[in-house]
């Protein structure tokens, strides 16, 4: 299967709807509850981050973008490893929180499906536990391809946390990510699992040709 990025319908550019439940806060942290959720995400996920950042293989010559950075803990972990750091998140609360944590990053409010960055801007793009909220996975990965420099590497990771998620849910996400990366024109696609509790994390790495 191959997907023509130019022919995909674009989602409306309106701000995302405010969350209507506590779980919804993870997809769009908002208000004081969003602040609490952001603080929790910042302290909870260190070992998952270590695993994902290993797959990203960042060097001091790299320009790096994170999509859905939440509280900015992973940008902070990358701060002395890359030449430049940028990020996009559709939650204004998370942009404020991350801006306090990471000083030298270009952090913008925006959508994974309409990245507010020029073509071929980055050597590395990462996203952790955000892709499940994107309006369209194919469109998001087309955008990742557009902003990557030729030869650049993307790593998209997910540890499914929805009610009832199991190792099978992780495996299905790995399959879906791998297929969609391939369909929008990435190559050298590699899937890696880590045995995080309560369910494994999958990281799918892919190169822009
Ligand atoms: C569960 S949090 C994960 C935060 C962080 N990556 C981590 O692992 O701790 C998901 C983040 O993705 C952001 N997000 C969800 N959908 C998005 C989209 N379509 N575009 C940009 N950001 C999005 C949310 O606002 C939130 O900050």
Pick 104 or 69 by higher pLDDT.
Answer: 69
Please, which contacts does 81-90 make with residues 24 or more away whose CB atoms are closer than 8 Å?
82/58, 82/124, 86/117, 86/121, 86/122, 88/112, 88/115, 88/116, 88/117, 89/130, 90/15, 90/16, 90/28
Q: Pseudo-torsion of CA 85, 89, 91, 97, nearest 10°?
A: -20
User: Does pLDDT of 45 surpass 90?
Assistant: no
User: Does pLDDT of 10 surpass 90?
Assistant: no
Which of 14, 43, 68 to probe ligand 1 with, by most ligand atoms within 8 A of CB?
Answer: 68
What's CA 167's distance to the chain center, in Å?
20
Task: Find, among 104, 112, 142, the residue nearest to 128 by Cα.
Answer: 112
Residue 201 Cβ inside 6 Å of ligand 1? The answer reads no
* Residue 155: strand pairing partners: 126, 205
Q: State residue 145's pLDDT score.
A: 98
Closest Cα to atom 12 of ligand 1:
68
User: Does pLDDT of 2 surpass 90?
Assistant: yes
Chain segment 15-33, per-residue pLDDT in tens: 888 898 888 888 999 999 9
Bond preceding residue 198 cis, omega within 30 of 0 = yes
Residue 152 Cβ inside 6 Å of ligand 1? The answer reads no
- In this prediction the pTM is 0.96
Distance 104 CA to ligand 1 centre (A): 20
DSSP code, position 164: T
d(CA 111, CA 102): 20
Distance 91 CA to ligand 1 centre (A): 8
Q: State residue 70's pLDDT score.
A: 96
Across 49-53, average pLDDT: 96
Residue 89 Cβ inside 6 Å of ligand 1? The answer reads yes
H or E element, residue 113:
none
Q: Model confidence at 4, in pLDDT bands (50, 70, 90)?
A: very high
User: Does pLDDT of 14 surpass 80?
Assistant: no
């Amino acid at each position: 299967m191959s997907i023509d990025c130019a022919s995909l319908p674009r989602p409306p550019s309106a701000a995302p709807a405010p969350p209507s439940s506590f779980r919804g806060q993870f997809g769009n942290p908002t208000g004081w509850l969003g602040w609490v959720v952001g603080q929790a995400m910042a302290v909870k996920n260190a070992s998952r981050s270590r695993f994902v950042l290993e797959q990203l293989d960042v060097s001091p010559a790299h320009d790096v973008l994170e999509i859905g950075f939440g509280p900015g803990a992973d940008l902070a972990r990358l701060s002395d490893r890359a030449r430049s750091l940028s990020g996009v998140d559709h939650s204004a609360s998370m942009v404020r929180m991350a801006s306090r944590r990471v000083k030298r990053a270009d952090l913008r409010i925006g959508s994974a499906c309409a990245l507010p960055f020029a073509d071929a801007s980055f050597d590395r793009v990462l996203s952790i536990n955000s892709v499940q909220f994107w309006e369209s996975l194919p469109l998001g990965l087309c955008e990742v391809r557009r902003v990557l420099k030729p030869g650049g590497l993307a790593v998209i990771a997910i540890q499914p946390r929805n009610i009832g998620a199991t190792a099978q849910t992780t495996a299905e996400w790995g399959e879906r990510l791998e297929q969609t990366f391939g369909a929008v024109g990435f190559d050298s696609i590699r899937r890696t699992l880590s045995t995080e509790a309560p369910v494994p994390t999958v990281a799918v790495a892919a190169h822009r040709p």
